[in-house]
Amino acid sequence: MKMKKLITAAAMLGCAIQSGAVRQPVEQTRDRPNILWFVVDDMSANFSCYGEKTIRTPHVDRLAKEGLRFTRAYATSPVCSTFRSAMITGMYQTSIGAHHHRSGRGEHRILLPDGVRPVPAIFQEAGYYTCMGSGLPGVDAAGKPSPRDRLGKTDYNFDWDREIYDSHDWAGRAADQPFFMQVQLHGGKIRGASSAKYKETEERMAVEFGATTDPKSVELPPYYPRAPVMLRDWATYLDSVKITDRHVGRVIDRLKDEGLLENTVIIFFTDHGISHARGKQFLFDEGSHIPLIVRGPGIASGKTRTDLVEHIDIAALSLAAAGIETPAKMQGRDILASGYKPKPAVFAARDRCGEATDRIRSVRTDRYLYIKNFYPKRPHLMPSGYKDGKLIIQRLRELHAQGELSALSAKLLFAPTRPSEELYLYGPDRWQTNNLAENPKHAGALKRHRARLDRWILETGDPGPETPEIYVLETEDQMKSTRNKTAREIYRKNAEMYQRWASEGM
């Protein structure tokens, strides 16, 4: 009887491993797997394996075919520095006080709470060689030849020691030493935000790929007008996806050539969605939904997971894959662990970005996205030196002033105020355009999601907005680092306006 139970248990474990539910145990030897992250800037899940039809992305598709693809992975913050602060600690950025974009770098300093450490430091302590760069010596993060190899993008909103990174590349490690590598790629930033940058990307595509993406072929979210500038921008964005995909393929080929591929856990993801009027910096799917693919030893191939996961889970997953104990305080979870139970909800937060003060929180469940706007008297597209410097935002403002936007675009992008609560139903509302918060048929769901978000805010120690004094310190520090006089003056005037809004209770 005991033998029968053992055989049954072994069979069940084998099925679990084949389904991608758990990973095989890691031996604490020199054969521990390497861990490699692809971290891509400003890019949504516009890959063929995620349903993108306009372009083909064979290398990321190959990762998905050979690994495990998550369809409902979300960033806990949709802007670079707060995302990366959460990513590198496995903590909600709100729980560690790193939730305001590009903060803690001047007079105001931010220290990590006791028991919270950057993941590279943990890997390093366990004997791993820690590195971060482009993954291709002599090539930069945009996939261009470069005479200088350098450390990749960090962008952390807290004090940290650069010694947690041994190098920009794994080539310098000791013989048989496993490595933890972050391949940091410019991704959507390659396309730029101006006509000159669009032209540069188009010329590069003509040389390297033989053709550019046809602007007329792209699909835009329904709230963006099909104006020439908007179509060209999206087309060059898709070109940046193709450039990124090829870079990924070249790194994978390098791993294979060096005999490292089959002992390397590869985790591919982006740091938030496309930089656009309703994407980056916002909690709709356009800004917060990200691709997530895991491939490597112990990971079943060609599998798909549809449960909700958060990007902070990547830290816990990676440590576990290397056989390293996860810190007790870490909020991210090993989503490949034996016995892992899917999350009933995932959360996200947006706070000050540059001079633009905001506070938005969200909770996603299987059927709904609930968003709470803490400053509903302010418009969606608030003044922002960063956003308003983009050609697409300038064109949207022009079209709005000329009365040429659709009713949907005008409502979602340029209404003078925002609803205090938003509730969207997944499935029929792909782009979150139909707010059900005041629909009595969904009153029960609204109440449940409101309560769930309130509990999360309390339980995770969300500190909320900065004090007026800290706002001044942070914005003055950012103005000092802005070399362009015109940009600095725009930033200063905007900061004064936000201070006035705050004093007026807006």
Domains of the chain, by residue range, sit at 33-350
- When pLDDT is cut at 50, 70 and 90, the band that residue 24 belongs to is very low
pLDDT tens across 258-298, in order?
Answer: 999 999 999 999 999 999 999 999 999 999 999 999 999 99
d(CA 95, CA 99): 8
Asked if residue 3 has pLDDT above 60, the reply is no
Asked if residue 454 has pLDDT above 50, the reply is yes
| pLDDT value of residue 309 | 98
Higher per-residue confidence, 269 vs 4: 269
| pLDDT value of residue 31 | 76
Higher per-residue confidence, 482 vs 324: 324
- Taking the whole predicted model, whether its pTM rises above 0.75 is answered as yes
The percentage of the chain sitting over the pLDDT mark of 90, rounded to a whole number, equals 92
Arithmetic mean of pLDDT over the chain: 94
d(CA 370, CA 363): 5
Q: Is the separation of the CB atoms in 322 and 122 below 8 Å? A: no
Asked if residue 182 has pLDDT above 90, the reply is yes
pLDDT tens across 348-395, in order?
Answer: 999 999 999 999 999 999 999 999 999 999 999 999 999 999 999 999
- Tell whether domain 33-350 is in CATH 3.40.720.10: yes
If we measure between CA atoms, which residue out of 90, 116, 86, 119 comes closest to residue 101? 86
pLDDT tens across 36-80, in order?
Answer: 999 999 999 999 999 999 999 999 999 999 999 999 999 999 999
- DSSP E strand stretches across 352-501: 360-364, 368-373, 421-425
| pLDDT value of residue 28 | 42
H helix intervals, 218-312:
228-257, 285-288
| pLDDT value of residue 482 | 87
| pLDDT value of residue 483 | 87
Q: Helices 228-257 & 391-401, crossing angle to 10 degrees?
A: 160
| pLDDT value of residue 18 | 35
Asked if residue 20 has pLDDT above 50, the reply is no
Asked if residue 214 has pLDDT above 90, the reply is yes
What is the spatial order of strands in the sheet that 368-373 belongs to? Answer: 346-350, 360-364, 368-373, 421-425
Asked if residue 30 has pLDDT above 60, the reply is no
